[in-house]
Every structure is written in structure tokens, then in C-alpha cells.
Amino acid sequence: MSNLDRSPSRRNFLKGAVFNTAALSAVPLGAIGATSRVSASSIQQSIPGLPIKIMMHTGLPRDFKSKLMKISTEIQLIDSKREIDQVDVWFGPINREEFRKASRLNWVQIPSAGVEHYLFPEVVQSDVVMTNAKGCYAPAIAEHTIGLLFALTRKIGSQTRNMAGAKWQAEDDMVEMKNLTMGIVGLGGIGSQIARRARAMDMQVIAVDIQPKSKEQIGDICDEVRLVQGDGLSWLLQNADVVVSAAPHTQVSEGMFDSPQFDMMKQGAYFINVSRGKLVKTSALLRALQSGHLAGTGLDVTDPEPLPSDHALWTLPNAIITAHISGRSQHSWNRLLEVFRQNVDRYMQGYPLLNQVDKQLGF
């Protein structure tokens, strides 16, 4: 079969099933993507034309490129945009101009979990399949979440600031997490990993999500999960001592934490955001902190981002801010590479891909 023989059925087949890797980090890498096989006739109809040309827009280690090449001798790795109109697969960020020029594109692997920057109309309206890094950065982000909370509850943030002036000063109002309730907004790959760690801190865990979750899906990491729609978010905000934003940035979620939401939270509650800054109305969060209604906030993301040097949040003693680094670790990138390697193998054989993005929903 030549490249000219391909038909839209190829893309339709790839879109036929969505595999969620929320628990990606909890299983051996070799087990990622294990799914039931489709019929031989379906596979035969959907195997792509050969050779497969993959645009390596993001630089990759030489040993990983060797792993890709071992999948098939029909794989060609490209890093020159002179051949952009011949590319079948794209690894890395992609902009509107690049997408328009890549006229033969079937599949884009985005190296981040959030895809809001890549869902321009041409992509959403096309048949091109998009996959992301869902679950790949979740363990690191979950640890960072707990670290931000520790910095607030154990006063590590203020103690660190004291070090700059060689100041020995004790703290009052130290807080244990035992028996506190953590409310997680977005129980996907990141939210699930956060919930597991909160359990280790002897916390109660509640959550809301845009999609229903069965008991089999959540196991014992969460006491109760409700839909965020309706009064789900209000229920969580009113019952949580710690609210964690782990939801994706979409048209629906943008600005979901505003003054009414912060007012619903318990007096003395904590707010942690490790998802996207645009989910939060920064001015409303600032007022809730300055008034003393919230005990503190831990932010790895802000709006705007980066936060301007003269912003009032920098000066608050009850705010801990990190520079959007929560997903970084010695393992995060390797998890993404393993997902991509398995997806290339699945693509070659005509199987549905892992971590497919619903381009209408935005995640």
C-alpha cells in the first residue's frame, strides 16, 4: 500500500477508542497501552501507507530514536521542515502555519498534558488525531502539590524567608494534615495521583470531575466523587479544608475560581493550583488572601504567567509561588517517550492510540 492509497477511514479508526492513562505512573512502563485487539480485517483496512514519516519537532535522545527505528524499517525520522508536506506523524508543539503546511498529517503527539495552545480551529475541525502526555507528569505534579501544602501548613515557606536574614523565629498555628479534607477539582491523571498521596497523609479526599467516575475506576483513593456540573463544585468548596485545582484549561473551566467560589470555601482553607493559571481569577484570589478568608495558597501556575515582578501576590506571607515547574522530574520525560514509542507501534499496526484528546472538550 502506498501513501496515496490512504483514506479517511484510517483516521476514523484511530479515533475509535480513547485510552485514559490516569494511572500511567502506577504500572510498569511495559504494561502501558495493553488493550484488547481488534479484528484482523479492521487492522488490515487501517494500516497506514508506508513508509511512515515522523517529524521530530522536539529533539529526542539518540537512543530513543534507535528504539523507534527498531519498530519498523519503514519509519523515517525527519527534523527538517523542508519535508513538512510529506509528514504523517508529528512529535512536539505545532503552530497554525505548520499544521496548514503539513497537508498529509494523520496524528500529532503533543508533549504536554494541556493542549489548549494547539486547539486552533483548523485542528479541531480536521480529522487529524491528537494525543497528549496525560499521566506522564502526574507523579511529579502530585508530589509538588503536597510540597506546596507542606510549605504552607508547616510554615516552611516563611521559615525559608527567615533564612535570608539569618532570623531564628518560631511559628504558631502549625497544621497537621491528618483528618483534613482535600477537595480535588479534576480527578484525571494528575488528580488521581494527588489523591493517592493525600491518603498517605491520612486526609479525607473528595473530588469533582466533568465525567462520571465508577467505584472501580477510583478504588479507595477517594471518599466521594461528584460531577462538577450543577452543584458539584459548590459542594466540594464548602466541605474541603484544602482545594486543589487539577482540571484542564478549557472554555468551560476558564475563570471557574472567582470571588463567589472563594467565598464558598471554609474560613482558613488552603487553595492549591497546579493545573493552569487561567482557571483562577487572580484578583479574586488576592482579595481572599488579603482578607484572611483563606489561610494560604500554593501556586505553580498563575494568570498572567509569568507573574509580573510588581504583583502583590509576591509580597504575601501566605502565598507560595513556583515557576510552573511541578511536572519536572528525572522520570517525567521518559514516561512521555514510552507512550510515544508505544503509540508509534500501535499506529504502524492500525490500533487505537493511547491518550487521545477529545478536541471538542479540550482534553
Same domain as 101, residue 145: no
The answer as to whether 356 is a domain residue is no
Same domain as 266, residue 171: yes
Q: pLDDT of 225-267, one tens digit each?
A: 999 999 999 999 999 999 999 999 999 999 999 999 999 999 9
Whether a cis peptide bond, with omega within 30° of 0, leads into 352 is no
pTM: 0.86
Residues 6+ positions from 2 with CB-CB distance below 8 Å: 49, 50
Same domain as 284, residue 145: yes
Same domain as 300, residue 173: yes
Q: pLDDT of 104-131, one tens digit each?
A: 999 999 999 999 999 999 999 999 999 9
Q: How many domains does the chain have?
A: 2
Q: Give the CATH number, domain containing residue 33.
A: 3.40.50.720
Same domain as 156, residue 94: no
The DSSP line for 310-344 is T-GGGG-TTEEE--S-TT--TTHHHHHHHHHHHHH
**Structural domain that includes position 40:** 3-136+331-349
The answer as to whether 361 is a domain residue is no
Same domain as 124, residue 206: no
Q: pLDDT of 267-297, one tens digit each?
A: 999 999 999 999 999 999 999 999 999 999 9
Q: pLDDT of 39-79, one tens digit each?
A: 333 333 355 678 999 999 887 888 999 999 999 999 999 98
The answer as to whether 284 is a domain residue is yes
Cell numbers 527567615 correspond to 162
Same domain as 125, residue 169: no
Residues 6+ positions from 320 with CB-CB distance below 8 Å: 148, 151, 152, 157, 296, 297, 298, 299
Same domain as 118, residue 219: no
Residue 38: DSSP 8-state? P
Same domain as 197, residue 336: no
